[in-house]
Structures are given as structure tokens and as C-alpha cells.
Structure 1
């Protein structure tokens, strides 16, 4: 990777209205706080197409508002084949999305990882879908831990 190329990070969940936009917003916030925003391109997408064009779920917006984290401009979109070459890290929220991404990738160069695989002490390696559980607080806590671990992982790999 060229030294002047930005590091691309794409967060992926099922519909791109709960978990992945929350992770995108949290990671953007973390990157900005660390003064690294010029070095990254951060986005989110869903494997499904049900919510294309919609803003994040109200539960996601509520917790981000509470934590004073911006989600301005976030709109749901579906994963595209070009994402596998446009992004260096494609970060799945659970096993199902990781498998769906792997089958879509067809040998492309992006690294597909599950967010919580980077958090060794996590009891589960899946970020539960609050669209079904309603537990946006739990998801926020997991996303924060995963985002911090992801940044450390990238710092080591890319010597940031």
C-alpha cells in the first residue's frame, strides 16, 4: 500500500441501520479524537438492501446523541463488489455477515474480519443485532471496545 493512500475501513451488518452505522460513527469519533482523520476513509454498508437510503435506526441515533457522537450524513447502503478493492478492512458484526462478505469477495484483496475477533476478552465474537434485541447500550459498549481494538490493530499493521 502506498504511504499516501488512505486506510479504508468499512463496517458491515445486515441492514446498515443499527450496528454498522454505530460502528462507523464511533470509529470516526475515535479517529478524529486521535487526530488521524486525514489518514482514513470510513464507511458502513449492509449485506441486505431493505433500508437503502435510510438514516440510522432511532435506537442508534439515541445512544449516539447521548454520547455526543455525530452520525450526520449517514445513510444505509448495500455492500458493492467495488468495496472489496476500495477498502483495506471490511469489518463484519457477526458470523453470518462475515460469511456473506466472504462469498461476495471472490478473492478480492480486502481483509474481512469480525469486529469482536480483535477483543480477546469478549465473551461472544458476535455483536448482537439490536434491531431484534433492542439492547443498543450493549451494542454501543461492544462497538467501542471493538473500535479501540481495531485502531490498535491497524496502528500495528500500518505503523501509525
Structure 2
């Protein structure tokens, strides 16, 4: 799952699908395929702005379709995009929604496990940082108290 989540789109691929999407947008509403291809490229971009734009395009596609197969794809890539943004709560929401449509989807199950692992790891790292900062603050207060007591 790490490979899928960490994959970065080649710039040539992004530009190719952006061109198709923009050309269709100039004439009328882009096709579902053009919007999906472009959004999937954006979700694999290293830039947060692109990730947000890709997620918005995927959400638009999700709300427009009644096809469960398409919804499944959109939910998966919405989960991947939000995982890349480290918005793990949203990512889990989308992955679990996918599992309600297709409970046996192994990719979605792996994605949920991957997100849970990331949440735990980053939660522990966050707690360690807060704990370290608290220890430094307490050490500073104790040092200040000792210095004042010597005067």
C-alpha cells in the first residue's frame, strides 16, 4: 500500500492529462474520463494545492454518479489523496465507505490498515514531541527556581 500512497506522478503525465481536461473544459463540461484521469494525476502530485484540487474533482465525480463501480474507484482515490495530505480521519471515512459498498475489497482493507498504522505512528511521535517540550519546560522552570533560590 505504501507504494500506491507514496507514488508521485511524472510531470509529463500530469501535463498531458491537464491539457486534455482544460481543452474539454473550454468547450463544455469535461468527460468523466478526462476529469478522473486529471484528478488521479493531481492526487499523486507532491504539491498540496494539487492534492486538494484532485480531491475536489474526485468528490465532484463521486456525487454525480450512481454507478457503484465508479463510486468504488472514486472512494479509493479520495482515501489515498487524504492519506497523502495526512487527513487520516477523512481518509478512513472514504476507505470505510468503500468497504460498505464492497466489504471484501482487499485494497480497501489494506488501505484502512495502512492509515491506522500511520495514525498510531504519528500519534506516538506527536505525543513524544509534546512530552519532550513539556520536559524542557519543566527543566527550564526548575533551573530558574534554583537560580532564584541561590540569590
- Superposition TM-score, scaled by structure 1 size: 0.22
Select the structure that is richer in helix: 2
Select the structure that is richer in strand: 1
- Superposition TM-score, scaled by structure 2 size: 0.23
- The structure showing larger relative contact order (alpha-carbon pairs under 8 Å, at least 6 residues apart) is 1
Larger-Rg structure: 2
